[in-house]
Amino acid sequence: MCSRPGRSCFWPNVLLTKGWKAMFLRATRVQTPPDKVNEAIKNFETNIIKGLRSAAGNQGASFLVNRQTGAALGITYWESAKALANSEQIGTQSRTQLTKHVAGSQIVNVERAELMIMDRVAAPKAGSFLRLVTANGDPEKLDAAIVNLRNQVLPLLKAQKGYRATIAAVDRQTGRLSVSTVWDSKADLDASEGKLAGPRAEVAKLAGAGPNDVQVEIFETAVVELSAAATQTSTARA
């Protein structure tokens, strides 16, 4: 069990598995008044994380925020598609808690996806910064994009100063691809942009996404609590 609830920690009692085992996530996009961001973080720490720890198949959660705009993402990780489906009531309760406890907060949307890449060179921690790239592509082309990301882009990412992790997930029904890269600092994230803009465009193109189908957002990791299984480096073979 985490010794610092709601901050940065591992759940070491989860057994590791050899090879790739599919995991799934649910991402809830939230819009909060910028002056209520700290309240939203506190709510996630004290109310939402607590309920997740005892949920069957849960592998942890993170809460990402943009303090300037009030945009936020609450992400929960699940060991299987079945565990994700069985947790829908918990997800509904969590969303209700947020809008109840944080005045002015709204749920923008909820997405579900299969994890395809989880690459880490450092343990997850609060205070790191994250670039989230989402592309609305073609379900039939997602695997080609993942192969390029794994074979061409990951080595480039790992050569950048301050690189910590890459998490890539797909929604095979809608064709949506999401790729998060995590960095030690905002300065490291900004410095990497010049090296990554071109490869990012290539991945999006391979996924069947046009220039207007790609969105880039910057978040701070406010809360992160993940199991050992969710922090090991894993890559699906497309």
Environment class of residue 56 by beta-carbon count within 10 Å: exposed (0-12), middle (13-18) or buried (19+)? exposed
Q: In the prediction, which pLDDT does 170 show?
A: 97
Q: Which of 14-18, 21-25, 94-98, 103-107 has the lowest mean pLDDT?
A: 14-18
Residue 231 in this model has a pLDDT that exceeds 80 = no
Q: What is the average per-residue pLDDT within 141-159?
A: 97
Q: In the prediction, which pLDDT does 232 show?
A: 66
Residue 118 in this model has a pLDDT that exceeds 80 = yes
Q: What is the pLDDT of residues 29-61, one digit of tens each?
A: 999 999 999 999 999 998 888 889 889 999 999
Q: In the prediction, which pLDDT does 1 show?
A: 32
Q: In the prediction, which pLDDT does 236 show?
A: 57
Q: Residue 19 in 3-state DSSP? A: coil
Residue 122 in this model has a pLDDT that exceeds 80 = yes
CA-based nearest residue to 9, from 56, 45, 48, 40: 45
**What CATH number belongs to 21-229?**
3.30.70.100
230: Cα separation from own chain's centroid: 11
Calpha distance 17→1 (Å, rounded): 19
- Give the confidence band of 5 by pLDDT, cuts at 50, 70, 90: very low
Q: In the prediction, which pLDDT does 233 show?
A: 57
The residue with greater pLDDT, 204 or 50, is 204
Q: What is the average per-residue pLDDT within 113-133?
A: 96
Within 10 angstroms of residue 145's Cβ, the number of other Cβ atoms is 27
Residue 110 in this model has a pLDDT that exceeds 70 = yes
Element (H, E) at 134: strand 129-136
Q: Tell me the domain boundaries of the chain.
A: 21-229
Q: What is the average per-residue pLDDT within 175-179?
A: 98
Q: In the prediction, which pLDDT does 50 show?
A: 85
Looking at the whole model, is its pTM more than 0.85?
yes
Residue 155 in this model has a pLDDT that exceeds 70 = yes
- Give the confidence band of 195 by pLDDT, cuts at 50, 70, 90: very high
- Give the confidence band of 3 by pLDDT, cuts at 50, 70, 90: very low
CB distance 132 to 217 below 8 Å: yes
